[in-house]
Amino acid sequence: MSWEVVIGLEVHVQLATQSKIFSGSSTEFGAEPNTQAALIDLGMPGVLPVLNGDVVQKAIKFGLGVDAEITPKSVFARKNYFYPDLPKGYQISQFELPIVGMGHLDITLEDGTTKRIGVTRAHLEEDAGKSLHEDFHGMTGIDLNRAGTPLLEIVSEPDMRSAKEAVAYAKAIHSLIRYLDISDGNMSQGSMRCDCNVSLRQKGEEKFGTRREIKNVNSFRFVEKAINAEIEWQMDELESGRAIQQATVLYDPVKDKTFAMRSKEEANDYRYFPDPDLLPLEVTEQLIDRVRAELPELPAQKIERFVSELELSDYDARVLASDRVLANYFETVVDVSGAKAKLAANWVSVELLGALNKNDLDIDASPVSAEQLGGLLKRIADNTISGKIAKQIFEELWNNGGSADQIIEAKGLKQETDTGAIEAIVDQVIADSPDQVAQFLAADDNKRKKLIGYFVGQSMKLSKGKANPQMLNQILAQKLV
């Protein structure tokens, strides 16, 4: 049979606030367990939650970022269920009336085309605590530091048709929340995690199949692997004549398999009802206008500007605009260097990102600052150094710091641009290479283009990499003919 996969994502984003959604407790990551949970987070009798205004503004920012309707009046509800790390026995969340309504987000597919993914809603809620199993043999430890941490749950339409599309959507959400500065998006610390709803149907059918939800996937790589594992499992079940049961499942990366956690609850299982301690949240047009006025340039706008103003290719623009910190780094390099944007794009995309990947570092932990790299490219642009020498200097900057100018001066790396000196080098190489010269003279034009590489290489070696490449090629072409 020919199957079609239908995927929708629920992305939980921790909002970057100093304090929790309903209390003044700190949200700082990494504190000692149970040191950041106030009585309000625990739902103790006699205490009342107070909504954090910063949370509301960050939710509005996201809504405007996906061109969604901001609901004038939203309501917090109690979602009732029992869980060891949920001391109140209910979670405060928005249900029927979320703060952000229908919007959309465009993703770029592997073939370069764009696909629009619907955003059904985004609602505010508090996080639960965390169960700890590793250090408690036969028991479970509970850390309630996360209890009450503000979350924005972003629910997509079931518009994705492959694991790669789901990853592209998750990455687009990650990029947007970092641009908007509403979350650090740190997936290893739980600041962003995904629930993936997956179902299969026969191609051509309109009715959706029964979905299973993969809970709490915390990396882009695991989103793809978990969805593909679930697709494979569902396909085997359906082709064996068994029906899919709606369920919540977990992904085991070691076995590369999904396994059932519990049967999927319906909304009425949670017995939602409006929280009697919180008034309906009313958002005024004035507040929306104020937040809109503070919106930064968003990824799609930045890509368009990089292409139109800086004359980058669409591919380069998408790579460099994929992350706000990376885009800011690149623009600083362009400003400091005064070089063509294409040169800066090549160095940031290839040399810098290559070194960061090799050392498993993020851009904001780069040992070479944008100002340092800009200073290096400035010396390529004014012909002080060649591209080859620049790679040596980049390595020095990476390992020992300093500035390009300091390294050039200390190591005597200025490019040789004296015509007479380069001619002397070329003459020496030609005199030392009679066989190669004869081979070059006997060759046709196509072969000569390949053979001249030998003379360039030998001349560069003799000049210790300092000869100006353009001048060297010109002089070689004159001398060899």
The full set of domain ranges for the chain reads 3-289, 297-411, 419-480
Say which amino acid occupies 370: A
Specify the DSSP class assigned to residue 66.
T
**Which pLDDT value is given to residue 15?**
98
Angle 387-388-389 from CA coordinates, rounded to 5°: 95
Instruction: State in Å, rounded, how far the first CA of the chain is from the last one.
Output: 67
pLDDT at residue 468, as a whole number: 85
Class of domain 419-480: mainly alpha
Q: How many CA atoms lie within 13 A of 71 on its CB side?
A: 22
Q: Distance of alpha carbon 100 from its chain centroid, rounded?
A: 23
Local structure of 194: helix, strand or coil = strand
- 3-class DSSP state for residue 127? coil
Q: Residue type for 194, please?
A: C
For 323, counting Cβ atoms within 10 Å of its Cβ (0-12 exposed, 13-18 middle, 19+ buried), the class is buried
> What's residue 235's pLDDT?
96
Q: pLDDT tens string for the chain (481 positions)?
A: 789 999 999 999 999 999 999 999 999 999 999 999 999 999 899 999 999 999 999 999 999 999 999 999 999 999 998 888 898 999 999 999 999 999 999 999 988 899 999 999 999 999 999 988 877 788 889 999 999 999 999 999 999 999 999 999 999 999 999 999 999 999 989 999 999 999 999 999 999 999 999 999 999 999 999 999 999 999 999 999 999 999 999 999 999 999 988 766 666 788 899 999 999 999 999 999 999 999 999 999 999 999 999 999 999 999 999 999 999 999 999 999 998 999 999 999 999 999 999 999 999 999 999 999 999 999 999 989 988 889 999 999 999 999 999 999 999 888 888 888 889 999 999 999 888 888 888 888 888 878 888 988 999 888 888 888 888 888 988 888 7
Q: Report yes or no: 41 and 22 within 8 Å, Cβ to Cβ.
A: yes
Look up the pTM and report it.
Answer: 0.85
How far apart CA 21 and CA 126 sit, in angstroms, is 7
pLDDT the model gives residue 83? 85
How far is the CA of 364 from the CAs of 246, 343, 351, 369, 403, in angstroms?
42, 21, 16, 9, 19
pLDDT of 440 reads 85
Query: CA–CA distance from 8 to each of 50, 160, 166, 195, 235 (Å)?
Result: 32, 6, 8, 9, 18
